[in-house]
Amino acid sequence: MKRSEPFSCSLAELADRLGATLVGDGERRVSGLATLSDAGPDDISFLANKAYLKYLTQTRAAAVLIHPAHGGECPVARLELDNPYLAYAELSRLFDPMAAPDAGGVHPSAVVAGDAVLGRDVTIAANAVIESGVELGDGVSVGPGCVIGADSVVGDGSRLHANVTLYHGVVVGKRAILHSGCVIGADGFGFAHDGRGWHKIAQLGGVVLGDDVEVGSCSSIDRGALGDTVIGDDVKIDSQVQIAHNVQVGDHSALAGCVGIAGSTKVGRHCLLGGGVGLSGHLTICDGVQVTGMSLVTNSITEPGVYSSGTGAMSNALWRKNAVRFKQLDDIAKRLSRLERGSTG
Amino acid sequence: MKRSEPFSCSLAELADRLGATLVGDGERRVSGLATLSDAGPDDISFLANKAYLKYLTQTRAAAVLIHPAHGGECPVARLELDNPYLAYAELSRLFDPMAAPDAGGVHPSAVVAGDAVLGRDVTIAANAVIESGVELGDGVSVGPGCVIGADSVVGDGSRLHANVTLYHGVVVGKRAILHSGCVIGADGFGFAHDGRGWHKIAQLGGVVLGDDVEVGSCSSIDRGALGDTVIGDDVKIDSQVQIAHNVQVGDHSALAGCVGIAGSTKVGRHCLLGGGVGLSGHLTICDGVQVTGMSLVTNSITEPGVYSSGTGAMSNALWRKNAVRFKQLDDIAKRLSRLERGSTG
Amino acid sequence: MKRSEPFSCSLAELADRLGATLVGDGERRVSGLATLSDAGPDDISFLANKAYLKYLTQTRAAAVLIHPAHGGECPVARLELDNPYLAYAELSRLFDPMAAPDAGGVHPSAVVAGDAVLGRDVTIAANAVIESGVELGDGVSVGPGCVIGADSVVGDGSRLHANVTLYHGVVVGKRAILHSGCVIGADGFGFAHDGRGWHKIAQLGGVVLGDDVEVGSCSSIDRGALGDTVIGDDVKIDSQVQIAHNVQVGDHSALAGCVGIAGSTKVGRHCLLGGGVGLSGHLTICDGVQVTGMSLVTNSITEPGVYSSGTGAMSNALWRKNAVRFKQLDDIAKRLSRLERGSTG
């Protein structure tokens, strides 16, 4: 990857770009982005959460992105706007030294099949392998050590970081970001049992990722058994996630680290799955569902809302006592009912 | 990988191959395999689960693999047999365009130690690395970017997909399928504490995989501390699984995604571990045990059967109330006993 | 990697090296290390856990590392010392055939940027890629297929096994051991929502690993959003672990397999996180906390001690009944209170 020149910008320019109302010296320049407590006099910062108001009064930042409601409490220059967190996201990309497009070109050590089709300004880094029939759109960047299997397609502007693996026949949309170690299109886990042992079910489907998908490091998205595993547009997938064969994830959903989704489950649009959440197979989760961390979902969900399972952590001594009682819970409930009948009878 | 020619077959030939009773036109040819609802007139389909009977009447498939008990409900040609799912597995491999053996040969960019021993028809793809003393059996296929450590042995007919890593001294049986990103033989997690910090325990054992083992993408099987980590024949391991040092998994067991097994635990034969199951260390799980998804097992299991832990998902509002009560459960049980004594006293 | 010559040593030499009291023939030589039950007459063994006393009387080992309290029960020569497990750790490294430093040198197939700075005795294996501005300390060993991103720094004596990925700007301390498939420095999971969809927050921080850190296979440590993700000295991280952006882990802590730590959480020193433990984001876990396997921690912990959540496994039939009751638990508690008021009223 290529590192761009250091970025510097005046507050007036930033306000203009972000559509913010500037209160302070528009000529002042900033060259970095930092938290309220870490920011120095060349940095811009942001207040996106009231919990951090305590750091506002002492910030040394040149300026702060802030909601108008808190503008009066800001001791330095400020850029007022309705969604400071969104503005921070935009600034973060502006200040990203790695955001410059890669230089383009195919490293001599890369192995690219003669019939692969490369768009304009494609970068293929050292020791990458591009198999037969692959199509890479304009501006695609393939990191060192990546392997793209036969007949896979990667859309314009997508970036594969180092050591990503795509199997054959995988379709990746535009502007995807695939992080190192992720594997798209490995066989789903399908076997038939003959009473003695297992017989492999060849996984004949593929994987289709929509546009603007991000997949974290070391995550797995398996190919379909028959038909495809489908990830919608703008779906964000964290690290260490497993998505089994024929799963569908709707547009704009986000899956935090260590999520596991079993085969053929359909997750709706705008869903949020917390870290370590598990979904059983063949479920349907409707749009707008949030599941909190490490919950297990074994039934379909038909109403938007927040769902949970499990128990919170406590001291092990207390937990041991309670966990034993959990095994008696049905008995406890029945005894309670009996008592109630007795006391009212 | 090499893609084979499109496959086409008459229903009579298929019935013969599967030992099925054909009801319908044996001359009719099929060239694809699809679900009942997706199948078109050139496809064969299957009914393996009554839940899909509703799709049977409207299927456009040329023919359906079906149990004789449901034959009468099939609107198109049918191949009757006792285990349609098993027959589907066999057909899936027949229709797999990637099933053709790789072409054989060592890609010029691969780095193969001079003393490695290669069987007949071995394929070593681009940028793979084969270290000193490795032995690859007949028909082994090593994908792009794989690394096989010193003195490892891979049995006949095994396939390593792209970017698989075997450490030194790993033994893989025949017909293994190792998916991308899996790592076999990394150090087990062993340290001695001196009261101040950690001292590494070198992991001197190896890993032995039996025949017909499949390991999913991004899964880890660690080498033994002393003695080997041993995976039996026909063991199927999904993606994102962790198997710690000196674990033993018996023949024909299947481990779904995100399973974690701690050190020295022995899992019996014909066990099924659901997604996200965790087994503590130094346990013995007998043959024929099934553990449902995301359960934690902290004690050995001596009777075959189905085991579970955890709680199912509910609305977060309800869950919050109940989870708080879980911390009072022992107290609740004691108060109930007190009341019972009072009411009967 | 290079395999060293077989190691052999007299018991007198070993006793001297370990500071142990030898009881038996100091001239006797041993050339292997094995468990009490597996050891043969050329092996040394150890007793570190009373549970294994039953194997002591029948051991065929040449000698046993043992606490003086059990010396009298040892049927063969013995090396008495206070911490036999620690002594075993030291011996394990002595007997490790892979412990020899790598030969040094850059394999011709490796791609090393012209401005990378290599210390003395650096080994870069086949098909590794070292990007611009990287610094590798003395004795660093980079395995086959590794990718080290621009401007990363790896301290003296560190070893990256095959197919490790470091992103740009990652700092690794001295004597690190990074296992295959681990990814250090991928983007943290940061997005701002505009009411319709996600906007990426560029992850501008880095990752800093202290000295003597070990990271297991297929683990992910993400780079910070602003500021770094920081792993202290002597932190041991197992396989399949996810560490999110801006997490801090204190010195000497150990994280077992499949642990997940969400963003900005601070884990203290000398903490032990069991397999599959999940920590929510923005928590502070004080020094000396142990969390048992698969527990979920959603609140900060301010007192050292052992913490747990979840329920133990039971038969599925019993579990189903109890899990249903869990959803009624708050109701059960209220009914119990009502009864108590009735019975005392």
Nearest to B330 among A280, A306, A321 (CB): A321
What confidence category does residue B109 fall into, taking pLDDT thresholds of 50, 70 and 90? very high
Contacts of C315 in chain B (CB under 8 A): 305-308
Indicate if the pLDDT at residue A342 is higher than 90: no
Q: Residue C312 has what pLDDT?
A: 84
- For C75-121, the pLDDT digits (tens) are 999 999 999 999 999 999 998 988 777 778 999 999 999 999 999 99
Interaxial angle between packed helices B329-344 and A316-326, expressed in degrees from 0 to 180 and rounded to the nearest 10? 50
Contact between C161 and C181 (Cβ < 8 Å): no
CB within 8 Å: B296 and C276 = yes
Side-chain-side CA neighbours of residue C104 (13 Å):
9
Is B337 touching C (CB cutoff 8 A)? no
- Residue B88 belongs to a domain: yes
For residues C270 and C146, state if they share a domain.
yes
Q: Residue C97 has what pLDDT?
A: 81
Q: Residue C202 has what pLDDT?
A: 96
For residues C301 and C324, state if they share a domain.
no
- Residue C99 belongs to a domain: no
Residue B43, domain extent: 9-94
Is C157 touching B (CB cutoff 8 A)? no
Is B242 touching A (CB cutoff 8 A)? no
Kind and range of the H or E run holding A183: strand A183-184
Identity of residue A283: L
CB within 8 Å: B307 and C315 = yes
Is B115 touching C (CB cutoff 8 A)? no
Give the Cα separation of A306 and A259 in Å (integer): 16
Contact between C138 and C132 (Cβ < 8 Å): no
Kind and range of the H or E run holding C53: helix C53-56
Q: Residue A344 has what pLDDT?
A: 57
The distance of Cα C30 from the centroid of its chain, to the nearest Å, equals 29
Closest CA–CA distance from residue C87 to any residue of chain A (Å) = 31
Tokens of A266: 């359909």
pLDDT, mean of residues C146-170: 98
Q: Residue C4 has what pLDDT?
A: 60
Interaxial angle between packed helices B329-344 and B316-326, expressed in degrees from 0 to 180 and rounded to the nearest 10? 70
Residues 305-334 of A with CB under 8 A from C: 310-317, 319-320, 323, 326-330, 332-333
Domain boundary (B94, B113, B145) is at: B94
CB within 8 Å: A204 and B177 = no
- For A114-166, the pLDDT digits (tens) are 999 999 999 999 999 999 999 999 999 999 999 999 999 999 999 999 999 99
- Residue C1 belongs to a domain: no
| CB-neighbour burial class of residue A65 (10 A; exposed 0-12, middle 13-18, buried 19+) | buried
Nearest to A252 among C198, C305, C314 (CB): C198
Domain boundary (A43, A71, A94) is at: A94
Closest CA–CA distance from residue B260 to any residue of chain A (Å) = 12
Q: Residue B3 has what pLDDT?
A: 54
pLDDT, mean of residues A176-196: 97
Is A244 touching B (CB cutoff 8 A)? yes
Indicate if the pLDDT at residue A4 is higher than 70: no
For residues C89 and C110, state if they share a domain.
no
- Where in the sequence numbering do the catalytic residues of C fall? 245
CB within 8 Å: A217 and C186 = yes
Contacts of B111 in chain C (CB under 8 A): 107, 109, 126-127, 144
Look-up of token digits 């297992």: A198
Residue in C211, C261, C205, C260 with CA at minimum distance from that of residue C236: C211
CATH number for the domain that contains residue B64: 3.40.1390.10
Q: Residue A102 has what pLDDT?
A: 77
Nearest to B323 among A196, A262, A311 (CB): A311
Residues 60-99 of C with CB under 8 A from A: none
pLDDT, mean of residues B40-58: 94
CB within 8 Å: B38 and A151 = no
For residues C164 and C44, state if they share a domain.
no
Q: Which of A17-26, C4-13, C177-186, C203-212 has the lowest mean pLDDT?
A: C4-13
Is A341 touching C (CB cutoff 8 A)? no
Indicate if the pLDDT at residue C169 is higher than 60: yes
Indicate if the pLDDT at residue C3 is higher than 80: no
Q: Residue B345 has what pLDDT?
A: 46
Q: Which residues contact A343 (CB under 8 A, 6 or more apart)?
A: B343, C339, C342, C343
Contact between A145 and C129 (Cβ < 8 Å): yes
Minimum CA–CA partner of B194 in chain C: C86
Residues 34-53 of B with CB under 8 A from A: 34-35, 38
Give the Cα separation of B93 and C146 in Å (integer): 34
At B91, give phi and psi (nearest 5°). Answer: -65, -35
Alpha carbon of B92 to those of A225, B16, B40, B65, B161: distances in Å? Answer: 9, 16, 16, 12, 19
Contacts of B145 in chain A (CB under 8 A): 127, 129, 145, 147, 163, 165
- Residue B265 belongs to a domain: no
Closest CA–CA distance from residue C243 to any residue of chain A (Å) = 9
- Where in the sequence numbering do the catalytic residues of A fall? 245
Q: H helices within A268-328, ranges in order?
A: 316-326
Full DSSP string of B30-63: E-EE--TTT--TTEEEE--SGGGHHHHTT---SE
Give the Cα separation of A197 and B27 in Å (integer): 33
Q: What angle do CA B130, B131, B133 make, to 5 degrees?
A: 110
Indicate if the pLDDT at residue C290 is higher than 90: yes
Indicate if the pLDDT at residue B312 is higher than 90: no
Minimum CA–CA partner of B219 in chain C: C218
- Residue A238 belongs to a domain: no
Q: How many domains, in total, are found in chain B?
A: 2
Contacts of B308 in chain C (CB under 8 A): 313-316, 319-320, 323
pLDDT, mean of residues C7-23: 95
- Residue A291 belongs to a domain: no
CATH number for the domain that contains residue C294: 2.160.10.10
pLDDT, mean of residues B176-183: 98
| Whether residue B252 lies in the annotated active site | no
More confident residue, B15 or A3: B15
Q: How many CB atoms lie within 10 A of CB C194?
A: 12
Is C126 touching B (CB cutoff 8 A)? yes
Contacts of C278 in chain B (CB under 8 A): none
CB within 8 Å: B198 and C252 = yes
ipTM reported for the complex, 2 dp: 0.95
Contact between B88 and B34 (Cβ < 8 Å): no
Nearest to B257 among A200, A242, A296 (CB): A242
Q: How high is the mean pLDDT of chain B?
A: 94
- For A278-318, the pLDDT digits (tens) are 999 999 999 999 999 999 999 999 999 999 998 888 999 99
What confidence category does residue C345 fall into, taking pLDDT thresholds of 50, 70 and 90? very low
Closest CA–CA distance from residue B119 to any residue of chain A (Å) = 25
Domain boundary (C63, C94, C125) is at: C94
Contact between A88 and C199 (Cβ < 8 Å): no
- For A241-285, the pLDDT digits (tens) are 999 999 999 999 999 999 999 999 999 999 999 999 999 999 999
The distance of Cα B158 from the centroid of its chain, to the nearest Å, equals 15
CB within 8 Å: A310 and C307 = no
For residues C330 and C274, state if they share a domain.
no
Q: Residue A345 has what pLDDT?
A: 46
| Interface probe with C: pick from A98, A129, A343, most Cβ of C within 10 Å | A98
Residue in C322, C317, C187 with CA at minimum distance from that of residue C244: C187
- Residue C20 belongs to a domain: yes
- For A25-35, the pLDDT digits (tens) are 999 999 999 99
Indicate if the pLDDT at residue A22 is higher than 90: yes
- Residue A329 belongs to a domain: yes
CB within 8 Å: C316 and B299 = no
Minimum CA–CA partner of A329 in chain C: C322
